[in-house]
Structure 1
Amino acid sequence: MKKELLFAALASVSLLLAGCNANPQQTETAAPDASDTATETAAPAPTPTDSVYEVAEVMPEFPGGTQALFKFISENLEYPQHAIDGQIEGRVVVQFVVDKTGKVGNIQVVRSIDKLLDQAAIDVVRALPAWKPGMQNGQPVNVRYTLPVSFKLS
């Protein structure tokens, strides 16, 4: 089952990285509709004066690179027993902000499958160590990062 989770994580992150070749954009942060998303409240959201970039000149980087991110997710993602028993599979899409210091925060589920799988995805993102922050015009910036987390039974 670990190999299937690793493969699913690799495929998901590959799709994410393919979307990072767009032109840099800056957006305002907006509060998501609480009925559509689950939110991690322990990490503070960026202040209104701090812009959050969707794409930066240099995107945030997980320590050790993409392969290390895949490995971290495969080793730390816990498939809830209730979801295994219920044969629940699919992809939870999580967004979070890598702030100017590289800290992960403002974790939100933007595509839900099941509350237990959503929480498992939030938990693995919450456990991520500090990243190398994104850069815009030579300065560290807050960058929104989208990470699909796949759950597949063998």
Structure 2
Amino acid sequence: MITKKNPKQQLENYSKIFLQIGLALTLFVVYTLMEHKTYDRSDLKSLGQANMEDEMKEDIPIVLIQEVTPPPKDVPVLVEKIKIVEDEMKIEETIIESTETDEGEAIVINTDDIIEVEEEEELLEDIPFVLIENVPVYPGCKGNNTELKRCFTQKITAFFGKKFNTSLATELGLVPGKKKLFVMFKIDRTGKVSNVMARGPHPRLEKEVITVLTSLPRMTPGKQRGSPVGVSYSIPITFEVR
């Protein structure tokens, strides 16, 4: 095969170089167009013209200098005259006598009209039976304080055993055996029994105990420091259910 053209003069060998140069020129033209700034010429006309002459004008007021003349030296100075008026009103002086007592003078107090009254100490709280000075006296009890305490307990136990309905426990169907009742009451200042409280195995038994002890006879009230006081008394009562 015979070559028609000289290989050195073929443009196809330079096609890659021309392509790169063309891309570079295209990118440059695009970049230049993107960075180019344009302005609307119609907006330039609306700005108007700047007039600087009116702003430079300023009205400067004219100040007249006046001459000030000093006052004449012969003008008299007015001085206010003060008139002193004598006070014709007389003020009486008040003489305050001293209330201090001379240490050398003796003070005499008349004690004939002074009556010494002894106040009785009122004891409001109830005193337990074991701490009372003079125990309450059950009717028929005699002796000293220890004997009166022993007699009081015996009489209360005997009175309860006589008046208490022992068959009530059987009627209530309680289990056979020994039962305990805890009783508490108060002998007030008049010697009367009050505030009776009981705790037992059944409410009806408690009610029966309160009924019995409320019927105790009036006693001689207990005394503390010679004055009648309320005395609290408590006793456990044991009975047997058969």
Residue type at the aligned position of 1:92: L
- Structure 2 unmatched runs, 5+: 1-122, 141-150
Q: 1:68 aligns with which of 139, 142, 155?
A: 155
Q: Percentage identity across aligned positions?
A: 31
Task: Compute the TM-score of the two structures, normalised by the length of structure 1.
Answer: 0.59
How far apart, in 2, do the equivalents of 1:99 and 1:71 lie? 21
Q: Give me the TM-score of the superposition, normalised by structure 2.
A: 0.39
- Secondary structure of the residue aligned to 1:131 is coil
| 3-state secondary structure, aligned to 2:241 | coil
TM-aligned CA deviation for residue 130 of structure 1:
0.9
Match of 2:241 in 1: 153
- 8 Å contact from structure 1 (residues 58, 135) kept in 2: yes
Cα shift readout 1:6-39 (whole Å, capped 9, x = no counterpart): xxxxxxxxxxxxxxxxxxxxxxxxxxxxxxxxxx
Q: How many residues align?
A: 104
2:126 matched to 1:52?
A: yes
Matched, 1:135 2:242: no
Whole-Å separation in 1 of the counterparts to 2:201 and 2:219: 27
Structure 1 residue runs of 4+, over 4 Å off? Answer: none
Q: Does 1 or 2 have the higher relative contact order (CA < 8 Å, sep 6+)? A: 1
The structure whose Rg is larger is 2
- Hey, what's the Cα distance between the residues in 2 that align with 1:112 and 1:69? 18
Shift of 1:72: 1.6
Q: Is the 8 A contact 1:80 1:117 kept in 2?
A: no
Equivalent-residue separation in structure 1 for 2:221 and 2:241 (angstroms): 34
Structure 1 residue 112: deviation in Å?
2.5
> Which amino acid is the alignment partner of residue 157 of structure 2?
F
Q: How does 1:112-123 map to 2 (within 5 A)?
A: 112-123=200-211
What secondary structure, in the 3-state scheme, does the structure 2 residue paired with 1:56 have? coil
C-alpha deviation, 1:80, in angstroms: 4.9
Within 2, Cα distance between the matches of 1:93 and 1:62? 21
CA distance in 1, matches of 2:205, 2:238: 9
Q: CA RMSD in A?
A: 2.0
Q: Which secondary structure state, in structure 2, belongs to the residue aligned with residue 93 of structure 1?
A: strand
Mapped partners of 1:118, 1:103: distance in 2: 20
1:33 match: none
C-alpha displacement of 1:93: 1.0
Flag the 1:148–1:61 CA change in 2: closer, same or farther, 3 A: farther
Q: Which has the higher strand share?
A: 1
Q: Is residue 2:153 matched to residue 1:77?
A: no
8 Å contact from structure 2 (residues 179, 241) kept in 1: no
Q: Distance in 1 between the 2:211 and 2:162 partners?
A: 13
Q: Does 1:106 align with 2:195?
A: yes
* Cα distance in 1 between the residues matched to 2:125 and 2:240: 36
- How many Å separate the matches in 2 of 1:137 and 1:96? 22
Q: Structure 1 unaligned segments of length 5 or more: list them.
A: 1-48
